Structures are given as structure tokens and as C-alpha cells.
Amino acid sequence: MKYETHFKSSLAFIEKKLRQTLCAREKAPVIIRKAMQYAAFTGGKRFRPVLTLAACAACGGKPQDAILGALAVELIHTYSLVHDDLPALDNDNVRRGKPTCHRKFGEANAILTGDALLTLAFELLAEVRPADKAVRLVREIAVAAGVRGMIGGQVADLSGESRKKSLKEHLFISRCKTGELIRVSALAGALAADASPREVRAIMRYGECLGLAFQLVDDVLDQDGFCEAMNPRAVTRKAEQLLGQAKAAAKCFGPRGGDLIFLADFLGSRMV
């Protein structure tokens, strides 16, 4: 079964809520509203918010319990892509077959679009109830997206651009730049469902393995990153090992963990 078919209901729910959220900002200047909507609807798979809803379901929660956390991680991921595409970073002109945000709306507006998406993410998290749950989610997601997570990984990646990176450096960059936001996407779902400490530990283990595997799979497909420090076959084996560990963690949820296992299998299928 295809990803889009398996997660049809989750994807429709995410798209609906994301559109409602962005359309509600009618008082914002027209250009920033258009740029935010443009960046948010470029045809991505919504892997992170789907993961949040899947983790919530595994812990016995419902989609509406986790939707604010799911939208927040997607908005943060989207902001990171807008900024990554800028001339000062990756300097990309096209993303998913469309002009990048700075090519469409100008560099200054793209910077502000990324800023707006990031701040909107935390505005949504502040609406989570009860308040102590909101505080936990804000902290966990902020750490994962900040200098100890995604931003730190990006900086480390930039600092090593002019030379060949060691395996240790690749591991640090991948765990931070890619893995942390995926890990916290899973954790956000568990917290939304009021998961038990045992369930949270299992979700954390699942998210850590899935997050690193995600980057390894991308590197296998692009033949870069880890494939520059390891034999590509070894990278594939490591990705398969991590996905196996993620699935083992998901099995403790029984039938409710089926979507988590599907996500791991989906990543593995991309290497075939």
C-alpha cells in the first residue's frame, strides 16, 4: 500500500487544519500570507506531522489531541526549508519542482516568511491544554529545533563544507539537523496522548532510530553524506538496522503501533 493511501485520513486532516490555521491570519500583509501559504503547500509528504499523529494513536490518543503539535513541527520543518534554500545557505532555485520562496517573493520576504512560520508554530503550541502540557511541548520542540538540535546540526554542516567530514561528524550533524525534529515529532504525539513513562521511552527510542535512519536513507538515494564516509552498502545496512530497531520499539504498542511500523517500512522501501 502506498504512503498516501495508507495515511489518507491523517493527511486530509493535517491539510485541512493547516489551511485553516494559515487562512486565519487575514490581518497580516498580503505578501507574507501568500508566501507562508506558498511555502507550506509545496507537495511534501507531511512525514513529521503524520508521525506525530501515528505516535499519538499508538499511545491511545486521537488525532485532535495531537494536531497542534503536528502542525507546529510541520511549520518548523517548512521554515527550515525556506531558510535552507536562501543564497546564504544552499542557494537553491527550485524545491519540489517549484521556484523556492526567495525566488518567488524575494530574499527579504523569504527570511520573514521563515520567521513567521517559526513563530506561528509556538503560537499554536501555546494553545495546547492543559497548560503544563503546553509548557512541556514548547520546551521539547524548542530544544529539538534550536542550537542543541536542528540549528546546531546546520551550523556544524556549514562549518565542514570545505573539507571531507569524518563519520563522527556525519553522525552528529544527522542526529541534530534531521533526527532531532523527527524524534520530537514522535514525542509530541506521545505527550499529547498522555502516554505512560514506559510508552514515552518506547516512542523516544523509535523516534531516535527513525530520525537517523531517515538521513541515512536520503544519503543512500543521493549518494552523499554518509556515503562519503562509509561504503554505500554499509550505509544501507546501517539504515536497515536502525529501521529494525525502530520497529522493535513500536511492537510494544501492539496493533496500535501499526502506523509506526508502516512508516519505518516506507523509509526502507525507498532504498529498494
pLDDT digits (tens, 9 = 90+) for 81-90: 999 999 999 9
Amino acid symbol at 127: E
Q: What is the DSSP code string of 43-67?
A: ----HHHHHHHHHHHHTT--HHHHH
CB-based burial label for 226 (10 Å; 0-12, 13-18, 19+): buried
How would residue 164 be classed by pLDDT, with cut points 50, 70 and 90? Answer: confident
C-alpha 251/C-alpha 206 separation (Å) is: 10
Element (H, E) at 178: none
pLDDT at residue 241 tops 90: yes
Helices 131-145 and 107-125 sit at what angle, rounded to 10 degrees?
150
CB-based burial label for 92 (10 Å; 0-12, 13-18, 19+): middle
Do residues 253 and 199 make contact, with C-beta atoms less than 8 angstroms apart?
Answer: yes
pLDDT at residue 160 tops 80: no
Determine the pLDDT at residue 163. 81
For residue 185, give the nearest of 8, 10, 31 by alpha carbon.
10
pLDDT at residue 150 tops 90: yes
Angle at 173 between CA 169 and CA 175, to 5 degrees: 115
pLDDT at residue 136 tops 80: yes
Average pLDDT for 137-141? 98
How would residue 249 be classed by pLDDT, with cut points 50, 70 and 90? Answer: very high
pTM of the model: 0.96
Angle at 39 between CA 134 and CA 260, to 5 degrees: 55
Report all structural domains of the chain as residue ranges with CATH numbers, in order of start: 3-269 (1.10.600.10)
Only one residue has cell 553524506, namely 225
Do residues 207 and 186 make contact, with C-beta atoms less than 8 angstroms apart?
Answer: yes
- pLDDT > 70: what percent of the chain? 100
* Per-residue pLDDT tens digits for 195-204: 999 999 999 9
Determine the pLDDT at residue 234. 96
Q: What is the DSSP code string of 200-214?
A: HHHHHHHHHHHHHHH
C-alpha 265/C-alpha 92 separation (Å) is: 30
* Per-residue pLDDT tens digits for 28-66: 799 999 999 999 998 899 999 999 999 999 999 999 999
Do residues 169 and 156 make contact, with C-beta atoms less than 8 angstroms apart?
Answer: yes
Number of Cβ within 10 Å of residue 11's Cβ equals 18
pLDDT at residue 159 tops 90: no
